Amino acid sequence: MTTKAAKRFQELLLAFSQTADAEQRRRIESDLWEEFGAELAVFVLDMSGFSMLTRKYGIVHYLSMVKRMQVTTEPIVKSYGGSMIKYEADNCFAVFPNPLAAVKAALVMQHAFETSNILTSDDMDIFISCGIDYGRILVIPEEDCFGDAVNRASKLGEDVAAAREILVTKEAMERIPPEAGIRAREITVSISGLNITAYSISPTQTPQTH
């Protein structure tokens, strides 16, 4: 079902594409940013091993694991002040008011799955990778989000990070205060052919209470 916000967003995009007047386009773009723009931390989670597990155990087996991932992650996102955007296949998209909240949520998720994996058989173990960025983005609440920070968080979480890894861009890491005690290792990663500085956060550390 298309929400009122989503309909308004699509109407503005269509109006932008249908006018050749530069001033009108500037007004429409301004309206889009005023109504849907926000500066947030973007969090993208990916479950590891989709293709291999689906081939080995079947799609029903894997979909049951995806459901368990969703049930586990949503309350953690909310407990750290985040907002769920969407679940897409075996990915989770969420936004947080700041990068520290996103990192803490990611660490708690890693711990939650490590704990649950002790109780499940090997074929039901869930391993996740996470990408986090920060910036000005367009957000349709509980539906979708767009922007460079979304693209980079997606690339880090889905394509670059390994299982059990949390990758954070330099822009996001610079907004995490040193007193938060987050241990991270500086690395260089390639996103769309560009090398950028990122930080790999140890998933074994325990985040301070929020």
Per-residue confidence of the chain (210 residues) as pLDDT tens digits? 578 999 999 999 999 999 999 999 999 999 999 999 999 999 999 998 777 778 888 889 989 999 999 999 999 999 999 999 999 989 999 999 999 999 999 999 999 999 999 999 988 999 999 999 999 999 999 999 999 999 999 999 999 999 999 999 999 999 999 999 999 999 999 888 889 999 999 888 777 655
The candidate with the shortest Cα–Cα distance to 169, out of 182, 151, 156, is 156
Beta strands in the chain (DSSP E): 37-47, 83-88, 91-96, 128-140, 144-146, 166-169, 184-191, 194-201
The tokens for 28 are: 């429409």
φ, ψ of residue 126 in degrees (nearest 5): -110, 130
Contact call for residues 133 and 177 (beta carbons, < 8 A): no
Sketch the domain layout of the chain as residue ranges: 37-201
The span from the CA of 16 to the CA of 151, in Å, is 22
pLDDT recorded at residue 1: 53
The CATH homologous superfamily for domain 37-201 is Nucleotide cyclase, GGDEF domain (3.30.70.1230)
